[in-house]
Chains A and B, each alone.
Chain A
Amino acid sequence: MSHPPASRIDTGAGVCFIASAVIHLTVFLLLVWWGRLFPQQTAFQETYYVDIVNLPVADPQSGSSAQKSDDGVAVHPPAAPQAMTAPVPAKTPPKSITKPVKPTAAKESAETESAFAERMEKLESGREARRAEAVLDKLRSKQKGAGSTKVGMPGASGSEAGSNYGDFIKSRLEDALKVTSSYSTKSPEVVVRLTITAEGKLSRMKIERSSGDAIFEMAVRRAIDLASEKFVAPPNRTVFENGFIFKPRGISSGSSR
């Protein structure tokens, strides 16, 4: 039989049990207090959602789509291009709106209607002939560019969202070309057709025409590479295809044939 000394101090099991219970109660109360201090944060998630919708204002492409979806009414009222194009056909019965129109309009009173028609036809055919030539892209792009700068709206033709997206891509390309631009000949020019997938990825890049300046061509390629990182998905999730005319001073978007 062992004889434990009388003066042995064993902390009683009861004391330890009470201490343990107190510890558990303290932890529990701490948890409750913590829960009250930081209540559940479910309400914030909805706010985030709203923010996501409003955010794209900073982003040109998404902004246009947001406008389109949210307040399409606000976008459509400035239908300036339509209002401007309407009077032109009224002034000149045929559909031309090019420079040669002015002299004809001035001489209109002096000439007979048949002569006028003949003259117009001639002009038109001449213009068609010129169009048939290789300058087609250039001319059209010039017109478009002029239109967009004057009106402050994207080109009059085509769906509005698409034109906006084209401008967005053009602006990205311009930014990139500012970085990469370099050329050896006097006025190089490269026409490139870009295809952008519904996900906003550059899927195809084809050089349609080039002035033969290899250095500028290289610069254009690099600019497209650089810009393609910033492309976003086209509106309505459709494949976007458009030609772009690269020149040292800027880029104009050609038509997509």
Chain B
Amino acid sequence: MAIILGAGIIVKLVLLLLLSFSVVSWAIILFKFFQVQRANSESERFMDFFWKSKRFDAIASQVDRFANSPLTVLFNEGYSELKKVVEPDSKSDGSALSTDLGGVENVSRALRRATNSEITRLEKYLTFLATTGSTSPFIGLFGTVWGIMTAFEGIGKTGSASLAVVAPGIAEALIATAIGLVAAIPAVMAYNHFQHKIRVLINEMDSFSTEFLNIVHRNISGK
């Protein structure tokens, strides 16, 4: 640990920055891990439940059981929009035809909006992982270059270029690159992993929206 304490102020700052990057990125990794995990498992269960039940209002009463799935948000949005479209129809009788196409369009828009907001929610903080993955090696490299510069200054002052003089400075400097890589590697790996998982969830949401719209369309036109 003396290797870190002996480093110059710039190198220390770089190390501190990298450490904070690492702490934050690991916090995000943990956060995203639990979020995506729950979203996946509850989406699966929600889809099972969705296909088993016959009625939207029955699903709507049970939807809180799958609260962590993005699909429930889509369902809630679509269902509330559907209710808004259908209810005025029941109040002012006789205008069923007007709701035919416009109602489905409304539901579709609501679903698209909900999908977008869910994607935003899932991708939140992921940019930080990408930033950490791409910049922290460079930050570490900066620390190393700076450390080596100071080491060479020291050599110039003492006038001796023996390994005993050069080695400690370079070792101190290299620590920065090492920490930079330690911060970057998990961040990049996690970023790729979550990107993939979220893409799967987006696909699920898209297919759910189409299914939902199909059901709505069938019911309205079948009325």
- Contact: A5 with B26, CB < 8 Å? no
Main secondary structure of the interface of B (DSSP, over half): helix
Report the bound CA distance from A13 to B128 in whole Å: 14
Q: How many residues of A contact B (CB 8 A)?
A: 21
- Contact: A32 with B1, CB < 8 Å? yes
- Contact: A5 with B23, CB < 8 Å? no
Across-interface contacts of A19 in B (CB, < 8 A): 27, 30
- Contact: B24 with A4, CB < 8 Å? no
Report if A11-B64 is in contact (Cβ < 8 Å); known contacts: A2-B77, A4-B73: no
- A15 to chain B minimum Cβ distance, whole angstroms, is 8
Report if A11-B118 is in contact (Cβ < 8 Å); known contacts: A6-B67, A20-B27: no
**Interface residues in A11-33 (C-beta closer than 8 Å to B):** 11, 13, 16-17, 19-21, 23-24, 31-32
Q: Which residue of A lies closest to B73 (CB)?
A: A2
- Contact: B38 with A9, CB < 8 Å? yes
Report the bound CA distance from A8 to B64 in whole Å: 8
- Contact: A21 with B73, CB < 8 Å? no
- Contact: B35 with A11, CB < 8 Å? yes
Does A10 count as interface, using CB distance less than 8 angstroms?
Answer: yes
Does A7 count as interface, using CB distance less than 8 angstroms?
Answer: yes
Report if A16-B31 is in contact (Cβ < 8 Å); known contacts: A2-B117, A7-B64, A9-B38: yes
- Tell me the total A-B contact number using a CB cutoff of 8 A: 64
- Contact: A10 with B76, CB < 8 Å? no
Report if A24-B22 is in contact (Cβ < 8 Å); known contacts: A11-B35, A13-B31, A16-B31: yes
Across-interface contacts of B28 in A (CB, < 8 A): 16
Does B113 count as interface, using CB distance less than 8 angstroms?
Answer: yes
Across-interface contacts of A13 in B (CB, < 8 A): 27, 31, 125
Q: Which of B1, B19, B23, B113 contacts A2 (CB 8 A)?
A: B113
- Contact: B67 with A8, CB < 8 Å? yes
- Contact: A6 with B64, CB < 8 Å? yes
- A79 to chain B minimum Cβ distance, whole angstroms, is 45
Does B86 count as interface, using CB distance less than 8 angstroms?
Answer: no
Report the bound CA distance from A5 to B28 in whole Å: 23
Across-interface contacts of B30 in A (CB, < 8 A): 11, 16, 19-20
4 closest Cβ pairs, A-B complex: A20-B26, A20-B27, A5-B67, A16-B31
